[in-house]
Structure 1
Amino acid sequence: MPRLTEDPIGHPPSPASAWNIANGLTVLRLALVPVFVVALFAEGGHHVGARVLAWAVFAVASVTDRIDGEIARKRGLVTDFGKLADPIADKALIGGALIGLSVLGDLPWWVTVVMLAREIGVTLLRFWVLRHGVIPASRGGKLKTLLQAVATGLFVLLPIGDWLRPVAWVVMVAAMVVALVTGADYVARAVRLRRGSLAAR
């Protein structure tokens, strides 16, 4: 189980200025979202070159998601701005990717709805119980994030060849299973945390 201090939402903000490298990477990720969407839909949405470019932008943005959090914790740069902007940037990136792929017909809408409902639901749930305590990010949650990013990236690259489709689906199904299981775990932990907090008062 990850330690409490490793959780970006639960980590107390430091007196550091909001103008720091960790927040800069978060802002960069936000700025890359429209760039990614434009590249995804360029040349009709199924041009190989444009989709490779979109994948590259998505990959860079996904990498900054991990780097900014590590920098913020190690250098004591956790700020209120970062705690708010980081999950927004994450959801904007994955949401833009899933919705864009569904609009282009590469990913069924039901997959996008399920994945986004889980993402938004867990984020709101964690902030809702924040006054009672912190729900630490689980290893399963981190695995879900990795599988989701890999699966989405593979769907972005589908125009390269049909051989990618079964691979993309295997990874996406795995991501959905982990997402639903960890989502249920977050709900159970939130209920226990709230009940325990209220009982202690």
Structure 2
Amino acid sequence: MAIPRQLPNAITVVRIPLAVVSFVLLLMGGVLGADDLTLRWIAAIIFVVGMATDWVDGYLARRHGIVSDFGKLWDPIADKFLTGAGFVGLAILGEVWWWMVVVILIREWGITIHRLMIANEHVVAAAWMGKIKTVVQAVALSWALLPFWLWIGVPAFTIISLVLVSTAVLLTIASGIDYVVAQVRGARRAA
């Protein structure tokens, strides 16, 4: 069955408004469920669905042979909107340390700006380490956003969140270094 050629790109673009809605609902839900757990659940579910669309759009594009430069460029940008909004929202609520969020955002948007600057020359698709980093960020954020503290208690929830987010930070740094090294090697080969 053929799918519309722009469907994967449309799914990619939908992640951006999902990021905004999830962020607003997260902030409206308050800190560790102190205010409104319903909003927290909805924000978390929207985030999880948004991250799941990352797999769906890529699968559809590859399966139907409709991978596009637009998708290669905007797919990681949409991911960064969604994960960035999640990390910033958790930092605003005091559930994640700001320094971790700043490190992640600097890496994410630094590479995104670089990709946009060279987009006229060529489009840089996400590398394997960047994809692993995105999966770990998605798992860490899904855990931190979902109100699991109700069942395991706030101390255990906080420790697990810290371990997951710390792992995401380390992979974010490592994948950033990997990207820079790959770009330098590519530039040397081209010269």
Is the shorter-chain TM-score for this pair beyond 0.5, marking a shared fold? Answer: yes
d(CA) in 2 for partners of 1:125, 1:43: 35
Deviations 1:3-59 (A, max 9, x none): xxxxxxxxxxxxx97x62212211321221222122202244533222121111100
Secondary structure of the structure 2 residue equivalent to 1:58: helix
Query: 2-side partners of 1:62 and 1:165: how far apart?
Result: 22
1:174 to 158, 167, 170: 167
Unaligned runs of 5+ in 2: none
User: 2:131 aligns to what?
Assistant: 142
Within 1, Cα distance between the matches of 2:99 and 2:185?
30
Output one character per residue of 1:119-163: Cα deviation in whole Å (capped at 9) or x when no partner: 112233345456676656433222211111111122213553412
| Equivalent residue number for residue 105 of structure 2 | 116
Rounded Cα–Cα distance in structure 2 between residues aligned with 1:28 and 1:131? 24
Which residue matches 1:38? 24
* Alignment partner of 1:73 is 2:62: yes
Change (3 A) 1:85 1:137: closer
Q: Which residue of 2 aligns with 1:90?
A: 79
Flag the 1:69–1:157 CA change in 2: closer, same or farther, 3 A: same
Instruction: Provide the residue aligned with 1:58 in structure 2.
Output: 47
Q: Is residue 171 of structure 2 the alignment partner of residue 185 of structure 1? A: no
TM-score, normalised to structure 2, is 0.82
Q: Distance in 2 between matches of 1:52 and 1:181?
A: 31
Aligned residues: 182
Q: Distance in 1 between matches of 2:169 and 2:80?
A: 16
Gaps of 5+ in 1: 1-15
Amino acid at match of 2:164: V
Deviation string, structure 1 residues 150-178 (Cα, Å, up to 9, x no partner): 11122213553412111111111111112
Matches of 1:176 and 1:166, distance apart in 2: 15
Measured in 2, the distance between the counterparts of 1:86 and 1:135 equals 11
